[in-house]
Amino acid sequence: MKYSEKWGDSVDSAVKLALADLGLTEEQVNVTILEQPSKGFFGLGSKLAKVRVEEKAPEKVEEPKKEAKEIKEVKAEAKPEVSEKKNQSKPKPKKEHKEKKHEKHENDHANEDLSVLNERPADLVEAPEHPAHVFLTDISKEMGLDINIKTYTNEKLVYIDVDGPDSGTVIGKRGATLDALQYLTSLVVNKDDGAYKRVVINAEGYREKREKTLEKLANRLADKALKTGKAVRLEPMNPYERKVIHTTLQARPEVKTRSEGEEPYRKVVIEPARK
């Protein structure tokens, strides 16, 4: 069963992020609260809520089968002629079609984050009064950071550019601080009920540079896995960076990738596709 573990400033916000990650509704999952939240200043130094959201076992699949059997029995009593065989052959193909359609939707959703960063949308409009802009401006002032913030948005995305003397501090080691600020800003943007908006914070073009570095790393370690015939485990990465690795190696059928471990220590494993 697929699952997602997420942090949030409240249990509800963490669950919401996990549901968005899985592409499921609350009725389709079981929720386990791993850690309760506690308040902090602007979300910094606070203890966030952590939840595990896991897809329910596919028990519902059996019920439609029973209903289908009952329908067939009723139709059998009515003595349908040629149509009976056609009706018997329809349920399975329909279910398979729906499953494939659902898988395609999940794959498209998995690649959405990368397309946002690879090619900046042309329909972005500057929004200096957006809650995300206000939130980051307040935090930068409290932290004494000398940075410039420009916020843009469209229907599905909030894109924030950061530059200035202290942009390196905003990025942090391997983008850790940038990811933390992006996560907290996403909580602010999506705290109310409504359509989920992805938040991207980019500082001095760091996202593009990091992505290219990860793509080179993915191909180099894939070559190593093929040469040695053994699985190669990368260092722990955040969900976005793991997605870059997975997506980069999709074009190489000779290797396969998977993720293992628990957040924040979850890592990608690259191994030969055969053997």
**Of 204, 234, 252, which marks where a domain is finished?**
204
Residue 30 pLDDT:
87
Q: Out of 69-73, 75-79, 82-86, 262-266, which region has the weakest mean confidence (pLDDT)?
A: 82-86
**Cα–Cα distances in angstroms (integers) from residue 274 to residues 51, 220, 231, 248, in the given order:** 36, 18, 11, 19
Residue 96: inside a domain: no
pLDDT of res. 240: 84
Residue ending a domain, among 147, 173, 204, is 204
Residue type, 33: I
Looking at the structure, do residues 258 and 220 belong to the same domain, yes or no? yes
**CATH code of 190's domain:** 3.30.300.20
Classify residue 112: in a domain, yes or no: no
200 and 212 fall within a common domain? no
Domain total in the chain: 3
Handedness of CA 239, 244, 250, 255 (dihedral sign): negative
Q: How many CB atoms lie within 10 A of CB 98?
A: 10
What are the tokens at 252?
């190489």
What's the pLDDT at 227?
Answer: 95
Structure tokens at 32: 């386990």
Domain boundary among 57, 78, 97: 57
Q: How sure is the predictor about 47, in pLDDT bands with cuts at 50, 70 and 90?
A: low
Taking 80 as the threshold, does the pLDDT of residue 9 lie above it? no
Residue 252's pLDDT is what?
A: 94
What does the pLDDT look like over 147-201, one tens digit per residue? 999 999 998 899 999 999 999 999 998 888 998 899 999 999 998 877 889 999 9
CA distance 123 to 50: 35
Rounded CA gap, 249 and 244, in Å? 9
Strand partners, 152: 126, 159
Domain that holds residue 177: 125-204
| pLDDT over 80 (residue 219) | yes
State both tokens at 57: 């076992």
Same domain, 189 and 228: no
Q: Which two tokens stand for residue 201?
A: 């914070």
Q: Which amino acid is at 55?
A: E
Question: In CATH, what number is assigned to the domain containing residue 261?
Answer: 3.30.1370.50
Please report the beta strands in 169-217, taking only residues with DSSP state E, as ranges in sequence order.
198-203
Q: Are residues 216 and 200 in the same domain?
A: no
Identify whether 236 is part of a domain. Answer: yes
Q: Using an 8 Å Cβ cutoff, are 60 and 31 in contact?
A: no
Pairing of strands 29-35, 49-55: antiparallel
The residues near 107 (Cβ < 8 Å, ≥ 6 apart) are none
Q: Is residue 64 part of a domain?
A: no
Same domain, 137 and 192: yes
Q: Within this chain, do residues 147 and 174 fall inside the same structural domain, yes or no?
A: yes
The pair of structure tokens assigned to 28 is 């389709």
- In this structure, the answer to whether residues 199 and 175 fall within a common structural domain is yes
Residues 130 and 197 in one domain: yes
Residue 91 lies in a domain: no
253 and 220 share a domain? yes
Look at residue 111 and tell me whether its pLDDT is greater than 80.
no
Same-domain check for residues 136 and 197: yes
Instruction: Give domain status of residue 14, yes or no.
Output: yes
The residue length of the chain stands at 275
Residues 188 and 216 in one domain: no
Q: What are phi and psi of 31, to 5 degrees?
A: -110, 130
Strand 49-55 relative to strand 3-8: parallel, antiparallel, unpaired? antiparallel
Residue 101 lies in a domain: no
Q: Report which of 149, 134, 132, 143 is spatially closest to residue 203, judged by C-alpha positions.
A: 149
Mean pLDDT of 22-40: 80
* Residue 53 contacts residue 4 (beta carbons within 8 Å): yes
Mean pLDDT of 233-241: 89
| Whether residues 135 and 199 fall in one domain | yes
| Residue-wise burial string across 99-131, b where 16 or more C-beta atoms lie within 10 A, e elsewhere | eeeeeeeeeeeeeebbebbeeeeeeeeebeebe
* Domain presence at residue 106: no
